[in-house]
Chain A
Amino acid sequence: MTTTLIQQVHPLGGEAVDVLITDAVISQIAPSIDADADVVIDGTGLIGLPGLVDLHTHLREPGREDAETIETGSRAAALGGYTAVHAMANTDPVADTAGVVEQVYNTGREIGLVDVIPVGAVTVGLGGQQLAELGAMADSAARVRVFSDDGVCVSDPSLMRRALEYVKAFDGVIAQHAEEPRLTVGAQMNESELSGKLGLTGWPAVAEESIIARDCLLAEHVGSRLHICHLSTAGSVEIIRWAKSRGVNVTAEVTPHHLLLTEQLAETYDPIYKVNPPLRRAEDVDALRAALKDGTIDIVATDHAPHAAEDKQCEWSAARPGMLGLEQALSITIMTLSNEAGEVDWERVAAVTSTVAAQIGRLAEHGQGIVVGAPANITLLDPTASVVVSGTELASKSHNTPYEGLELPGRVKYTLLRGELTVKNGQAVR
């Protein structure tokens, strides 16, 4: 029996308490605990959060281990405060069978820095033609509940309807990458005045919004759960708000980069800023931030997308879309959810970075926070510290961060997965 005592931590920014963990479970919370613990953590001045849960991570294994592995991605996740990440299905081979998802799940377990929860592909090979064996993946050891062809939209409305219906049998959810492909042929950046000027083919907002509207109506029609990946436009926010007001069972995520960065960065022609969906206008960023505050957008998801140097140090149109995010997501969420006086709404931070994502993914072990009887998946954050981002110092195997040189607020000091430290004093334990 191992015991860990966290002294004088502030759960969700509240009063300081001692937290005792016995055998991976929170066993006692009190203003002061006198226990002979194996591990003692000084939590003075630290904010206690439920271990973060990402619904949208690309770990690249199997297939592109040169860009990221489950191990390097797990380390990046732990350093970012995560205790669970959903590994996207667009690997090589695609995670569209029970065999592949079990392999990803088991590798994550063996590494043990973070729970790696595979996302299953909706269609075979992300081909958009035929449903993958969703039930087999749900029944596998990986217990898949989130299904997505992320990167490729399930654009056939009939197939999307069937997918939504089918996963009801095991309480699954379809996470849609909303992009009408016929409206984004050759698209390279947000369609706008700027794309016209830069001579880069535009990715119009309506390509995202039309699919979200369609899928909300389909989800309503068949009574299923729908999740929309990486919302990027003000119009998408409006549609989600409308759908929720109708009672549609829809949730939505936003990425850290869409909360912070604008299309203006494309002017550099530096593919580090190329991402799908693309960075949008300042008005869109404002709408996304407001929607995260008011609850229209449910969670922050990283869309952490590591890419090898040669896939980014090339012509903009040849570069792969995507950027890193695991190690900066919490800081950017804090920036978004703090008021002008610098006060942070920690309840909301916990909801959007952990609790709600765990609920969408049906992860019973995660997102419960600092309550007696809960699994000890906890993140301790120093809100007064800050980090200057340096790509080469990140734990990720790739360095494609759009935040290079930026000073971001907050630093994860400790991350505990089932009571075991995965991050100690700001350093990964392994």
Chain B
Amino acid sequence: MKRHLLSAADLSRDEAIAVLDTAEQIETSLQGREVKKLPTLRGRTVVNLFYEDSTRTRISFELAAKRLSADVLNFSAKGSSVSKGESLKDTALTLQAMGADAVVIRHNASGSPWQLASWIDGSVVNAGDGTHEHPTQALLDAFTMRKRAGRGVGDGLDGLKVTVVGDVLHSRVARSNVLLLRTLGAEVTLVAPPTLLPVGIETWPCAFGYDLDQALPDADVVMMLRVQRERMNASYFPTEREYARRYGLDAARAGSLAPQAIVMHPGPMNRGMEIAAEVADSARSTVVEQVANGVSVRMAVLYLLLGGAA
């Protein structure tokens, strides 16, 4: 694997499958252990550099690093990015001086992990940059899909039909998923109101449409994206009610899904908005598995970047 994980596009098919396989092996080797810990990264330092609140993602990375026996530093720098405090560059030089082996960065500015990578020697993992990418989320989603599809070590996602629904425009999850799922052989369709699809969507390696009902019967996987309520004030759509009616996954819509189809959501969910409670809690839903898989996949990423071969 390369030195950094900045974009889902950085991963070749073989590399992406290697991450999923490694996550699988890690899970197996931890099974039945009383102490869920591997000694792999003992003596290495992983810094969680979070400029934006995301307790879920931070805890997931923290747990992943600790289970690999790394020393973990949490550096919460919320609010200091744009306000004139210590600059990102100064922070980078500080982390460099402290000997950070890997920096996991979450930042509200698209592209900031690339800048960080140009300033430090250690590995950089993009844990979400602005409205751009979130590659480990895409990896954990792919890992979840592969398991649910009954595929195993060495397999990609060839032929799997994935429909991603909602605010694609502002979604780093969608961007990274389109890139990674494509690499792994899945067919991706994006569904959203035209206001929430990016300019130039025609050139993306996926299909797109505006009609959810049309897209559902064909899907093996439906991934619902979180809708930020502030989008409503900016007139991306008229009302919450209209959005829920046209793009929400309610029980009736879920009924049109194929029997084996699964429903995913990166969380946190707006129940009743993009997803109905009974769908979120149904057997189709993988929301809880995604969280658990996130730790395994992030362990695999840290292991491959800092310790392992593959």
Pairwise interchain contact A315-B107, C-beta atoms closer than 8 A: yes
- Asked, given contacts A192-B200, A193-B200, A314-B89, whether A199 binds B131 with beta carbons under 8 Å apart, the answer is yes
Contacts of A269 in B (CB 8 A): 110-112, 114-115
B132 contact set on A, CB distance < 8 A: 198-200
Chain B positions 88-144 with a Cβ under 8 Å from a chain A Cβ: 88-89, 107-112, 114-115, 129-133
**Given A199-B129, A269-B115, CB of A318 within 8 Å of CB of B200:** no
Checking A188, A196, A310, A314 against B199 with a beta-carbon cut-off of 8 angstroms, the contacting residue is A196
Cα of A316 to Cα of B198 in the assembled complex, Å? 20
With A317-B130, A318-B82 as contacts: A198 and B110 at CB distance below 8 Å: yes
* Contact between chains at A313 and B87 (CB < 8 Å): yes
DSSP majority for the B interface?
loop
Residues of B whose CB lies within 8 Å of any CB of A are 81-82, 87-89, 107-112, 114-115, 129-133, 169, 172, 175, 198-201, 203-204
Q: Is A232 an interface residue (CB 8 A)?
A: no
- Separation of A131 and B175 alpha carbons in the complex (Å): 46
Rounded to whole angstroms, the CA-CA distance of A149 and B82 in the bound complex is 25
Chain A, Cβ-Cβ closest to B198:
A196
Q: Of A198, A201, A204, A310, which is within 8 A of B111 by CB?
A: A198
Interface residues of A (CB under 8 A from B): 188, 191-202, 204, 268-270, 310, 313-318
Q: How far is the CA of A268 from the CA of B88 in the complex (A)?
A: 17
Cα distance A192–B202 in the bound complex, in angstroms = 11
Select A196's contact among B87, B107, B112, B201, beta carbons within 8 Å: B201
* Given A313-B87, A316-B109, A192 contacting B199 (CB threshold 8 A): yes
Partner of A193, one of B172, B175, B203: B203
Contact B111 A315 (CB under 8 A): yes
- Nearest B-chain residue to A317, judged by Cβ: B109
Task: With both chains docked as a complex, state the minimum distance between the C-beta of B79 and any C-beta of chain A, in angstroms.
Answer: 12
Residues in B neighbouring A188, C-beta threshold 8 A: 110
CB contacts (< 8 Å) of A270 on chain B: these are 115
Q: B110 and A199: CB pair below 8 A?
A: yes
B130 to chain A, nearest CB (A): 5
Q: A310 to B89: give the CA distance in the assembly, Å.
A: 9
Q: Are B88 and A317 in contact (CB under 8 A)?
A: no
Closest to B113 in A: A269
Q: Does the CB pair A200–B110 fall under 8 Å?
A: yes
**Bound complex: CA A191 to CA B199 (Å):** 7
- Cβ B81 vs Cβ A318 within 8 A: yes
Query: What residues of B have a CB within 8 angstroms of the CB of A204 in the complex?
Result: 199
Shortest CB-to-CB span from B38 to chain A, Å, is 34
